[in-house]
Amino acid sequence: MDLKALIRDVPDFPKPGILFRDLTTLLQDQAGLRYVIDQLADRYQGQKIDYIAGIESRGFIFGAPLAYRLGVGFIPLRKPGKLCSPVYAVEYSLEYGSDRLEMHQDAVQPDRKVLVVDDLIATGGTAAAAAQLIQQSEGELTGFAFIVELMELNGRNLLPDVPITTLVNY
């Protein structure tokens, strides 16, 4: 399937110089949405994974159906102040700004295997923060899955040495 044909390119959003890869056009395509979830599910079927950790907010959209397909739990990694119980927190820098990611301290038990999911990897700062959260919890980070990778930003260089799955590369 030609996924690039389903992804909308929006120049200068959310600020000048950023070429935003809009996945809402992929999400609303019934065949496209099913295809990307099926691709990821096929890739991870049979692997030992206890949890999918999805990064707010677009990582929720892809991570939750993947967790459902794999028959594993889903953990939300959230923006500041959204979670209600004690959290681990990591500050990180974005392609367009800086932010903070939080995870409930009791979400991952030691040595449980966690796959981190987001829609897109740009500079890698967000995914690296997610990895730090898993490490703080003493869970085992088993890999990353992204729909889109922006290759020229070399975001994967910021990530720990675990397998990375991407479906579309720019």
Q: Does 100 bind ligand AMP (CB under 6 A)?
A: no
Q: Which residue from 61, 121, 133, 164 is in contact with ligand AMP, where contact means CB under 6 A?
A: 121
Identify the residue among 32, 74, 101, 119 touching ligand AMP (CB under 6 A).
Answer: 119
State the CB neighbour count (10 A cutoff) for residue 77: 29
> In whole angstroms, what is the distance from residue 95 CA to residue 161 CA?
22
Q: Is 91 a catalytic residue?
A: no
- Binding flag, residue 5, ligand AMP (CB under 6 A): no
Q: Which is nearer to ligand AMP, 112 or 134 (CB)?
A: 134
Which 143-162 residues touch ligand AMP, going by CB under 6 A?
155
Output 112 or 116, the one with its CB closest to ligand AMP: 116
In whole angstroms, give the CA distance from residue 26 to residue 65: 15
* The one catalytic residue among 8, 34, 43, 58: 58
**Residue 95 annotated to the active site:** yes
User: Are 139 and 168 spatial neighbours (Cβ–Cβ below 8 Å)?
Assistant: no
Please state the closest distance from residue 77 (CB atom) to ligand AMP, in A: 10
In contact, 145 and 117? CB cutoff 8 Å: yes
Token pair recorded at residue 88: 């681990």
Exposed / middle / buried, residue 141 (Cβ in 10 Å: 0-12, 13-18, 19+) = buried
The smaller minimum CB distance to ligand AMP, of residues 67 and 112, is found at: 67
Report CA-CA distances (Å) from 13 to 61, 79, 140, 155.
21, 20, 35, 20
132 binds ligand AMP (CB under 6 A): no
As a whole number of angstroms, the distance between CA 49 and CA 115 comes to 7
Establish if 118 lies at the interface with ligand AMP (CB under 6 A).
Answer: yes
Active-site residue set? 58, 95
Residues in touch with ligand AMP (CB under 6 A)? 18-21, 55, 58, 94-95, 118-127, 155
